[in-house]
Amino acid sequence: MTSDLPRVLLTGFDPFGGETLNPSWEAVRRLDGEIVRGHRVFALQLPTCFGRSLRTLRAALTRTTPDLVICVGQAGGRSRLSLERVAINVDDARIADNAGRQPVDRPVVRGGPAAYFSTLPIKALLRALQSAGLPAEISQTAGTFVCNHVFYGLMHALREAPHVRGGFVHIPFLPEQAVAHAGAPSLALDAVVAGLRVIVDTALRTRRDARVAAGTTH
């Protein structure tokens, strides 16, 4: 892939669990081709499938050679843009993926470390999102479904490329989805897109993370 600009890779997922759309892909594709702080944004849809999602992601990393990678996924029931702190080395699926696979207590990478931390400046991102009037939080768990699978696989792939930063963001349902989920929390697509734009911009301009309290007591 040729480009005269350094690159940012954003990924979203295809619909799963009976949904007809996935807000992560709807938001990410809105940013495809944008220029943010001298970087061109490339959007990629990942299959909601264990294994195949990581093969697709690894191929895209080779093809785009990005400086920054942000994977985005749907977290129905959450009300805020959730900046994930840590990915853990376990697949434990409550439901089957889109290929019918439902791994239980299996490692994402056999022999890999127990966990990887995001290399995004998550506290600075939190502060920037809040300053922009967008609902945001630091999340201490990315779950154990395909989102965590991709987050862990991403950080494992980047372990030998310290100049490339990466991480994961969960987003709520869109309003049209929430109707079918008994009024679950939701966030408008325009707000999600605006939030992702803030995240990319802030990550590109921030080298030292902010020190603000965003922990939990449970």
Catalytic positions are 84, 147, 170
What value, to the nearest 5°, has the Cα angle with vertex 138 and ends 137 and 142? 115
Give me 196's structure tokens. 């992702």
Which run of H or E residues covers position 199? helix 189-205
Of 77, 81, 2, 54, whose CA–CA distance to 11 is shortest? 54
Distance CA(147)–CA(152), nearest Å, equals 9
Of 12, 19, 23, whose CA–CA distance to 172 is shortest? 23
Distance CA(94)–CA(153), nearest Å, equals 19
Distance CA(51)–CA(113), nearest Å, equals 18
